[in-house]
Structure 1
Amino acid sequence: MAITPIKELVQAAKTEIRSLDQAEAEHMAAQGDALLVDIRDPRELKREGRIEGAFHAPRGMLEFWIAPDSPYHKPELATGKTLILFCASAWRSALSVKALQDMGVENIAEMEGGFSTWKKRGAPVVLD
């Protein structure tokens, strides 16, 4: 059995999820209608910076942090706001949104282009 190429998995996920352009994601977060959720590895945040106000939920813990019955549940993710996931280039976030949709999460989307596009367009970045 051949392994499905990652690009195919990402493309398939993107046909089933909501993707927001960066301006819309930024606007929704600024209005208080959404929470930006950074799923990058902690080393990426340290190296590349982060978006002010974004909640950091590493990809490996995402399902555990969002599930109300998990001992690792994070109340910050149990919100009526739309959760807008992003990673470096919108591959992990696409797969993550699909996984969370499969869990039953409804108010969820990904930010097109991810953090790399955010940074390239000159949007604010915080370096710790």
Structure 2
Amino acid sequence: MKTAHDLVAQAKLSINEVSIGDAPHAIQGADVLLDVREADEYANGHIPGAIHMSRGLLEFKLSNDPNLSSRDLKIVLYCKNSGRAALASKALHDMGYMNIQSIAGGFDAWAQAGNPIAKPEPIEFE
């Protein structure tokens, strides 16, 4: 029986991972940057310009959004440390998306490298 670790390792053999050093260039050339972490993780900080689309709903949201249906979109995605992003990359490839890149090391590596982090402004009610 395979473990989650086994599935991630297998996915990483067939996906395109970019190093943290190459990530800003990949993001700049992307049509869309997807954060596949959970909503609370995204709210605590994310890569500027990222759209939140949790891993659990990724395939459904992409299938239902006409703006994201083109299979030649250049998509860069990330998660906390690259496991969920690897699985998401493989799933998108299996769906026919041709230009998928995953950030090696994920958000943790991005933050540790001193790259900018965006945080949503809290809503204040008066």
Which band: TM-score by shorter chain?
0.7 to 0.9
Seen in structure 2, the aligned counterparts of structure 1 residues 82 and 23 have a Cα distance that, compared at 3 Å, is: farther
TM-score by length of 1: 0.83
**Is 1:14 equivalent to 2:6 in the alignment?**
no
Amino acid at match of 1:92: R
Give the alignment of 1:57-96 within 5 angstroms. Answer: 57-67=53-63, 72-73=64-65, 75-76=67-68, 78=70, 80-96=72-88
Q: Which of 3, 26, 39 is residue 28 of structure 1 equivalent to?
A: 26
- Cα distance in 2 for residues equivalent to 1:105 and 1:61: 16
The number of residues matched between the two structures is: 119
TM-score by length of 2: 0.85
Identity, % of aligned positions: 34
Conserved 8 A contact 1:38-1:58:
yes
The alpha carbon displacement at 1:44 in A equals 0.6
Amino acid at match of 1:93: A
Q: In structure 1, what is the equivalent of residue 123 of structure 2?
A: none
Conserved 8 A contact 2:72-2:98:
no
- Cα distance in 2 for residues equivalent to 1:22 and 1:74: 30
The alpha carbon displacement at 1:74 in A equals 5.2
Seen in structure 2, the aligned counterparts of structure 1 residues 7 and 62 have a Cα distance that, compared at 3 Å, is: same
- Cα distance in 2 for residues equivalent to 1:107 and 1:26: 16
The alpha carbon displacement at 1:76 in A equals 4.6
- Cα distance in 2 for residues equivalent to 1:73 and 1:96: 17
- Cα distance in 1 for residues equivalent to 2:22 and 2:68: 21
Find the residue that maps to 2:22 and give its secondary structure. Answer: helix
Q: Which of 94, 100, 117 is residue 108 of structure 1 equivalent to?
A: 100
The alpha carbon displacement at 1:96 in A equals 0.8
Q: CA RMSD in A?
A: 1.7
Runs of at least 5 residues in structure 1 that lack an aligned partner in the other structure? none
Seen in structure 2, the aligned counterparts of structure 1 residues 29 and 10 have a Cα distance that, compared at 3 Å, is: same
4+ residue runs over 2 A deviation:
76-81
Conserved 8 A contact 1:66-1:78:
no
